[in-house]
């Protein structure tokens, strides 16, 4: 999985969501920009949902990859993956690796 | 015997035009003769009396004559639009326990008989035992499985005992829809004229209004939207139009405003009807208002937990294939969520279509009404989709006439909606499509998305 591609998708989606935010997410901070965090976050639950849906649709359109970023089973195992751009990118990579594994298993069986 | 009052009226207005079909006029005199001809043909089939008969047809002077002939023989008629796919027709025929099939072919008809055991459904048997003609309609199933609705036709006919002003009307709703049946009998009972169109497109409707000086147009809000978008009203002389009535789905406020501005001299009003109770008399507060008073002889309304309930003499007997929607004291639970202001109600949407975003209720029609104001939006359908954070979220399928990317449109949409809708009502998921977002009955197609 090309990490840079995913970073680009996330940052493009953040730029899109910034249009509806009064307090904009500092995209120039790249991976270190806070997203959804109790003390430093810029998103509320609705704008978080909008951001995640944007990313899911972009992943599907650009990488032909269907992901459920709010997979509760997966979320239970980790700290808030939506805290920063970096944690979100890592979360996406984790999920896509799980998907790849599943696909490989499907092919084997 | 059941339609004698109609035949008497036809007889008194023999020379008037009853139907215009394929550019030809058919008078009431012609209709009487056609009914007599069909009735004598049907006499050959003794077993047809009081049986369940599928009438496969679209509007034509012949199908109208056949419908009246079958009802007069006490048949329980299942109007089946000939455009339905075979599998659906078979499913409907099985559910309604159809015993005979009548298919209109041009100016003739063919009959087929089905070898089945005797009819078992209690409602159909009730009609047979009472010697009453019946009607079985199928709900469109826009959001779920179609329900088979059984009516006692003698109760539906009561509404047409008084003769109204005859008008030229395009029967827009299909032959197998309660709105279509209502328009048909409204026109026949007032000896007006049905102007039948071959294609339900805005252009065809516009052309027909101009050519035959159509006075009344009963349509759906979705059709009005399309009529406005392709500016049909600029291409044809529509000055003969006196009324445009709308119903069958929630009217977006923006569409109502636009149609009133374009047709300031046309009376625009809402009708309220359900396949389960027929089309009831209704009166809009004023032309640009979505508030409507539902009334009529023997019609009572009440609101329980925000849902409209109706008691009416013309209510269906019941469903063949679904649980009863009646309360123990006989009120029909319509499933329509409404607001109330004195004797007026405002329909918000179907209870089953409410979107629950983190505990907040969203009615699709309200969001659609705003989205369709965005330039470039040709059609939009809003529905619920699941989301683990908020339970459900608002999803919009949009047909655009621009070349924007999804991201570009989403930015424009969010900016537009910002001061018009609270955040939870602004669609979180948007899907762009080139497909038409309505059914062939010009209702929003929520199944599609």
At a CB cut-off of 8 Å and minimum separation 6, what does A76 contact? none
Closest-CA residue of chain B to A51: B428
Are residues B423 and A46, on separate chains, in Cβ contact within 8 Å?
yes
Q: Is the pLDDT of residue A11 over 70?
A: yes
Q: What is the pLDDT of residue B331?
A: 95
Inter-chain touch B410–A16, beta carbons under 8 Å: yes
> What are residue B344's DSSP bridge partners?
B341
Name every chain A residue with its beta carbon within 8 A of the beta carbon of B389: 45, 48-49, 52, 70
Closest-CA residue of A relative to B412 is A19
Give the pLDDT confidence of A13-43 residue by residue, as tens digits: 999 999 888 899 999 999 999 998 877 788 9
Complex ipTM value: 0.83
pLDDT confidence band for A107 (50 / 70 / 90):
low
Map chain B to HEC letters.
CCCHHHHHHHHHCCCCEEEEECCEEEEHHHHHHHHHHHHHHHCCCHHHCCCEEEEEECCCHHHHHHHHHHHHCCCEEEEEECCCCHHHHHHHHHHCCCCEEEEEECCEEEEEECCCCCCCCHHHHHHHHHCCCEEEEECCCCCCCCCEEEEEHHHHHHHHCCCCCCCEECCCCCCCCHHHHHHHHHHHHCCCEEECCCCCCHHHHHHHHHHHCCCEEEECHHHHHHHHHCCHHHHCCCCCCCEEEECCCCCCHHHHHHHHHHCCCCEEEECEEECCCEEEEEEECCCCCCEEEEECCCCEEEEECCEEEEECCCCCCEECCCCCCECCCCCEEEEEEEEEECCEEEEEEEHHHCEEECCEEECHHHHHHHHCCCCCEEEEEEEEEEECCCEEEEEEEEEECCCCCHHHHHHHHHHHHCCCCCHHHCCCEEEECCCCCECCCCCECCCCC
Average pLDDT over residues A77-96: 87
**Closest by Cβ to A46, choosing from B411, B424, B429:** B424
Contact B194, B184 (CB under 8 A): yes
| B449: number of Cβ within 10 Å | 18
A76 close contact with B: CB closer than 8 A: no
β-pair partners for B385: B393
Cβ A45–B358 below 8 Å, yes or no? yes
> What pLDDT score does A100 carry?
67
CATH of A3-108, one of 2.60.40, 1.10.1200, 1.10.3470, 1.25.40: 1.10.1200
> Where in chain A are the domains?
3-108
Q: List beta partners, residue A38.
A: none
B419 in contact with A, Cβ within 8 Å: no
pLDDT at A13: 95
Contacts of B424 in chain A (CB under 8 A): 46
Contacts of B148 by beta carbon, 8 Å cutoff, 6+ apart = B92, B95, B96, B136, B137, B138, B319, B320, B321, B322
- The count of CB pairs under 8 A between chains A and B is 47
The C-alpha atoms of residue B139 and residue B146 are separated, in whole angstroms, by: 5
* Tens-place pLDDT, residues A40-72: 788 988 889 999 999 999 999 898 899 988 876
Pick from A70, A30, A74, A66: nearest CA to A51: A70
For residue B390, the chain A residues in CB contact (below 8 A) are 45-46, 49
CB B270 within 8 A of CB B284: yes
CATH of B4-157, one of 2.40.128.260, 3.40.190.10, 3.40.50.980, 3.40.50.2300: 3.40.50.980
Mean pLDDT in order along chain B per 10 residues (449 residues):
90 96 96 95 88 92 96 94 83 92 88 82 94 90 75 90 88 89 94 93 93 95 85 91 90 88 93 89 87 87 94 92 92 93 91 87 91 93 89 94 92 93 92 88 74
Please say whether the beta carbons of B262 and B227 come within 8 A.
no
Q: Where are the beta strands (DSSP E) in A11-84?
A: none
pLDDT of residue B158: 85
Count of beta carbons in the 10 Å neighbourhood of residue A52? 26
C-alpha span between A91 and B133 (Å, rounded): 65
- Taking an 8 Å cut-off on Cβ atoms, the answer to whether B388 and A70 are in contact is yes
Q: How far apart are CA B45 and CA B111, in angstroms?
A: 9
Task: State the best of B409, B412, B416, B429 to mutate against chain A, taking most chain A CBs within 10 Å.
Answer: B429
**A47 and chain B: CB distance < 8 Å anywhere?**
yes
Q: What CATH number should be reported for the domain whose range is B354-432?
A: 3.30.300.30
Contact criterion met (CB < 8 Å) for B428 and A50: yes
**B414/A19 touch (CB, cutoff 8 Å), yes or no:** yes
DSSP SS3 for A1: coil
Distance CA(B301)–CA(B312), nearest Å, equals: 9
Q: Is the pLDDT confidence value at A109 over 80?
A: no
Nearest CA in chain A to B410: A16
For chain B, give every domain's residue range.
4-157, 354-432
Query: Residue A48 carries which DSSP code?
Result: H
Instruction: Give B348→chain A minimum CA distance, Å.
Output: 23
Q: Does the pLDDT value for residue A92 go beyond 80?
A: yes
SS3 content of chain A, % helix, strand, coil (to 5): 65, 0, 35
User: What is residue A106's three-state secondary structure?
Assistant: helix
Q: Please report the pLDDT score of residue B163 as a whole number.
A: 79
Query: What angle (nearest 5°) sits at the alpha carbon of residue B288, between those of residues B307 and B256?
Result: 80
């Amino acid at each position: 999985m090309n990490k840079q591609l995913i970073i680009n998708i996330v940052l493009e989606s953040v730029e899109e969501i910034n249009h509806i935010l009064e307090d904009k997410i500092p995209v120039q901070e790249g991976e270190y920009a806070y997203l959804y965090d109790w003390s430093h976050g810029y998103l509320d639950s609705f704008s978080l949902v909008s951001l995640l849906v944007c990313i899911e649709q972009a992943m599907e359109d650009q990488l032909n990859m269907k992901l459920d970023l709010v997979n509760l089973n997966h979320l239970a195992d980790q700290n808030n993956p939506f805290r920063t751009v970096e944690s979100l990118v890592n979360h996406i990579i984790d999920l896509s690796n799980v998907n790849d594994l599943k696909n490989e298993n499907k092919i084997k069986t | 015997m059941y339609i004698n009052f109609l035949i008497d009226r036809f007889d008194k207005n023999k020379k008037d035009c009853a139907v215009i079909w394929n550019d030809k006029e058919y008078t009431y005199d012609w209709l009487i003769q056609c009914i007599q001809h069909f009735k004598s043909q049907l006499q050959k089939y003794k077993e047809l009396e009081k049986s369940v008969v599928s009438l496969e047809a679209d509007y034509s002077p012949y199908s109208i004559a056949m419908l009246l002939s079958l009802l007069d023989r006490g048949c329980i008629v299942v109007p089946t639009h000939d455009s339905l796919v075979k599998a659906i027709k078979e499913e409907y025929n099985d559910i309604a326990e159809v015993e005979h099939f009548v298919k209109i072919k041009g100016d003739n008809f063919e009959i087929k008989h089905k070898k089945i055991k005797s009819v078992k459904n209690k409602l159909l048997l009730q009609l047979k035992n009472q010697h009453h003609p019946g009607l079985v309609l199928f709900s469109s199933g826009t959001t779920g499985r179609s329900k088979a609705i059984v009516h006692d036709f003698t109760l539906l006919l009561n509404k047409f005992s008084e003769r109204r002003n005859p008008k030229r009307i395009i029967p827009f709703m299909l032959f197998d829809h309660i709105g279509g049946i209502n328009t048909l009998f409204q026109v026949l009972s007032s000896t007006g004229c049905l102007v039948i169109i071959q294609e339900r497109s805005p252009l065809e409707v516009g052309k027909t209004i101009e050519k035959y000086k159509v006075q009344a147009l009963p349509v759906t809000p979705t059709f009005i939207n399309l009529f406005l978008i392709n500016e049909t009203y600029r291409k044809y002389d529509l000055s003969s139009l006196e009324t445009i009535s709308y119903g069958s789905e929630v009217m977006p406020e923006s569409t109502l405003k636009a149609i009133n501005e374009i047709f300031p001299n046309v009376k625009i009003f809402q009708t309220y009807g359900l396949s389960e109770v027929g089309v009831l008399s209704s009166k809009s507060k004023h032309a640009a208002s979505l508030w409507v008073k539902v009334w009529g002889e023997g019609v009572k309304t009440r609101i329980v937990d925000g849902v409209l309930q109706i008691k009416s003499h013309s209510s269906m007997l019941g469903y063949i294939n679904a649980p009863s929607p009646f309360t123990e004291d006989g009120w029909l639970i319509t499933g329509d969520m409404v607001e109330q202001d004195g004797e007026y109600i405002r329909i918000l949407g179907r209870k089953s279509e409410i979107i629950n975003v983190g505990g907040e209720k969203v009615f699709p029609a309200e969001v659609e009404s705003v989205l369709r104001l965005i330039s470039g939006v040709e059609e939009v359908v809003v529905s619920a989709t699941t989301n683990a954070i908020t339970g459900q979220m608002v999803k919009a399928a949009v047909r655009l006439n621009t070349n924007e990317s999804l991201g570009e449109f989403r930015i424009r949409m969010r900016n537009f909606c910002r001061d018009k809708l609270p955040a939870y009502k602004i669609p979180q998921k948007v899907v762009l499509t080139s497909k038409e977002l309505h059914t062939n009955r010009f209702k929003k197609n929520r199944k599609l998305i």
